[in-house]
Structure 1
Amino acid sequence: MDPLTQGVLGASLSQSVSKKQHLVIAGVLGLLAGMAPDLDVLIRSQSDPLLFLEFHRQFTHSLFFIPIGSVLCALVLHPLIAKRCGLSFKQSWLYCALGFSTHALLDACTTYGTQLFWPLTNERYAWNTVSVIDPLFTLPILLLLVFATLKKIPWMARIAFLWALVYPTLGMIQRDRAEAAGWQLAQERQHEPTQLVAKPSFANILVWKVVYETEDSYYVDAVRAGTSIKIYPGESVAKLDVDRDFPWLDPNSQQAIDIERFRWFSNGFLAKHPSDEMSIIDVRYSIVPNQLDALWSIKLSPLATADTHVEYNTHRNNTQASRQLLFDMLLGL
């Protein structure tokens, strides 16, 4: 989730249990601690572009790390901020722990994948109920926190946290409706999917991207789950077959290893780029939900040495045309 949402959610929980005289400082500690786990984005390597994919939402986002992460936050924030406001270290740690504890669970509500139980498992949990940015989720929490802080009313923070529980629940209902529509569409096409997922499109829980896998292909479609279901048929692409698509690739090379790392990150949803024969895309994400215009990919090179990593690329096709297509779907056009 975006840093603002992570921060205000952490602040809403810490303010919910605070006394009136501690409302502001509780909110500040919850806000900063709620954003702290995303400091893992600093773990990067110039020589290994996929390293950050392995560490983002890993140990800092594990539920087992909450006691450690919250203590670290308190050790930094208590002498800098809270001690001057009259809080004990125990109080500072409590507010930091509450803020820190919200982060990983909120990230798991998105589609990216969060390693909630690392180091016991590196499975990435993605409940696909909220987009990584969604104003309808964030703005009510923010506004309620502003009023709670200005008026010194903790119960408004509690309402904010309640909204943070209600909205993903609505997203779960919408996700299930979109998945049901996807299964029906596959049946009409006489396909038997081996797996099917529905993910919210950008900044809403009305229009969903449905991706399903058959024996040899991926199909992407958009579903508008309003008062009635509307389908926007999309595109398909052959599943990645490394031996077929890259017959020159040494299976013991670093590039071959990187493909498997990228496969783990993408939950296996990999395909050869439709217009770039040296690139592999993550089929799950695009601005327009019924298109294969991937948000990120890796690029191989037949000239690379055995120990050379792949190239990692991001694609932000946030053009006026793509925004208009998504907006039309939101309107049901």
Structure 2
Amino acid sequence: MDSLTHVALGATLGVAVLGRRIAPWKAALWGAVCNTLPDLDVLIDHGDAVSNMVLHRGHSHSLLWLALLAPLLAAPMARWLGGGFKRWWLATTLALLTHPLLDLMTVYGTRLALPFSDHPFAVGSLFIIDPLVTLPLLGGLLAALALRGARGRRWNLLGLALSVGYIAWSVVAQQQVQRLALASARAQGLAPQRVLVTPAPLNTLLWRVVLVQDGHYHEGFRSLLDRGDTMAFERFDRGTALAPLLRPVQAAQHVRSFSHGFYKLAQAGEELLITDLRMGQEPQYVFGFVVARQEADGAVRPVPPRQVGGRIDTGRALAWLWPRMLGRPLPPPR
């Protein structure tokens, strides 16, 4: 999730646990700092664009490492500000662990189980920025800081409960759309090997569905306010004819694994590209990489990965997003 949401979640948890023992602003500040710490891994340069993508949300997001870090951070704070070590330990643990657990709800991939497993877990029921996750947290937190006392803490807990309830709702909505998408796909003669259901930006009313079947992928959109039970899908080539050329290219294999198979291959002149289909929508994606060149004699030479890809026209995208969220059957911007 975005940094503001992590700050708001950590601060809310800090006030909820420590708000009776120390000044609410101090509890909020500590919680915000702890919930931000795991994302400091973005400051590490792993050497190339692909490594920087796939190694983000790695060891700094491991539940084990964060749980072991919590008492080490809590002990000096308890000695310095008082309030009891157990309270500080609980607040710090919650603030640290909820960072990767919140990230888990996005589609990117979070390695929660390191060092035992390198698998990038992802639920994918939340967009990376969603106001309905963030605003209740901020509202409750600001009330707690303004009102203080038991009344302020109640508002803080209410904001936390509303945000958690909305996150739970996102999973229910995702499953509902997935069931409908699969039924609609079967009715159209499709038998996908992989199915991805993720929300469109900023909401959980409109969902993007990607079906991977053999050498193609199908993209469709479904609003919870759409009428009828049929989804329309557009068919695109995955470029799998290029797979043998890119099989020896390590960077391409990293993206293939990290994306859980939701990728496409392409060739532009001499350059060979791989694109993660999970983040973005056709034809614009966040993570596309040039990973190799094909020489005149047909040989493929790996190159230092370079991130490529255009940006969506925000005004045009929003002009489509809002009415499409409300159930208007508009084609996506291309």
TM-score by length of structure 2 reads: 0.85
Match of 1:245 among 222, 242, 247: 242
Distance 1:73 1:315 in 2: 42
Unmatched runs of 5 consecutive residues or more in structure 2: 329-334
> What displacement does 1:5 show?
0.5
> What displacement does 1:68 show?
3.2
Match of 1:302 among 294, 297, 300: 294
> What displacement does 1:310 show?
2.2
Shifted more, 276-285 versus 169-178: the winner is 276-285
Distance 1:49 1:20 in 2: 46
2:118 is the alignment partner of 1:126: no
> What displacement does 1:50 show?
1.6
Distance 2:143 2:307 in 1: 43
> What displacement does 1:67 show?
2.2
Is the 1:199–1:208 contact (alpha carbons within 8 Å) kept by the matching residues of 2? yes
> Runs ≥4 in structure 1, deviation > 6 angstroms?
274-277
2:311 is the alignment partner of 1:316: yes
Distance 1:7 1:209 in 2: 28
Distance 1:61 1:25 in 2: 24
Structure 1 letter corresponding to 2:137: I
1:3 and 1:228, CA in 2 relative to 1: closer, same or farther beyond 3 A? same
Is the 2:41–2:56 contact (alpha carbons within 8 Å) kept by the matching residues of 1? yes
Give the match for residue 265 of structure 2: 272
Distance 1:72 1:52 in 2: 28
SS in 2 for 1:301: strand
Structure 1 letter corresponding to 2:13: L
1:54 and 1:283, CA in 2 relative to 1: closer, same or farther beyond 3 A? closer
> What displacement does 1:175 show?
0.3
Is the 1:237–1:271 contact (alpha carbons within 8 Å) kept by the matching residues of 2? no
Is the 1:281–1:294 contact (alpha carbons within 8 Å) kept by the matching residues of 2? yes
Distance 1:309 1:274 in 2: 16
Structure 2 letter corresponding to 1:64: L
Is the 2:284–2:311 contact (alpha carbons within 8 Å) kept by the matching residues of 1? no
Distance 2:84 2:6 in 1: 25
Distance 2:246 2:206 in 1: 41
Structure 2 letter corresponding to 1:164: S
Distance 1:251 1:182 in 2: 32
Give the match for residue 261 of structure 1: 254
Unmatched runs of 5 consecutive residues or more in structure 1: none
> What displacement does 1:206 show?
0.3
Identical pairs, percent? 26
> What displacement does 1:72 show?
5.6
Distance 1:145 1:190 in 2: 50
| 1:50-78 Cα distance to aligned partner (Å, 9 max, x none) | 22223211111111112234346547x83
| 1:28-63 Cα distance to aligned partner (Å, 9 max, x none) | 111110111001111214x42222223211111111
1:191 and 1:307, CA in 2 relative to 1: closer, same or farther beyond 3 A? closer
SS in 1 for 2:307: strand
Give the match for residue 179 of structure 1: 178
Is the 2:10–2:95 contact (alpha carbons within 8 Å) kept by the matching residues of 1? yes
Distance 2:83 2:169 in 1: 38
Distance 1:194 1:305 in 2: 29
Shifted more, 158-167 versus 34-43: the winner is 158-167
Is the 2:293–2:302 contact (alpha carbons within 8 Å) kept by the matching residues of 1? no
Distance 1:235 1:332 in 2: 18
1:325 and 1:174, CA in 2 relative to 1: closer, same or farther beyond 3 A? same
Shifted more, 64-73 versus 152-161: the winner is 64-73
Distance 2:52 2:59 in 1: 12
Give the match for residue 168 of structure 2: 169
Shifted more, 229-238 versus 142-151: the winner is 229-238
Distance 1:314 1:34 in 2: 31
Distance 2:310 2:213 in 1: 26
Give the match for residue 284 of structure 1: 278
Match of 1:111 among 107, 112, 115: 107
> What displacement does 1:273 show?
4.2
1:212 and 1:7, CA in 2 relative to 1: closer, same or farther beyond 3 A? same
| 1:259-294 Cα distance to aligned partner (Å, 9 max, x none) | 0001112111111249787322212222xx5x3422
TM alignment of 1:60-79, pairs within 5 A:
60-71=60-71, 73-74=73-74, 78=77
Give the match for residue 332 of structure 2: none
Equivalent pairs, count: 319
Shifted more, 173-182 versus 302-311: the winner is 302-311
> What displacement does 1:195 show?
2.0
1:148 and 1:250, CA in 2 relative to 1: closer, same or farther beyond 3 A? closer
> What displacement does 1:91 show?
4.8
Give the match for residue 331 of structure 2: none
Structure 2 letter corresponding to 1:295: V
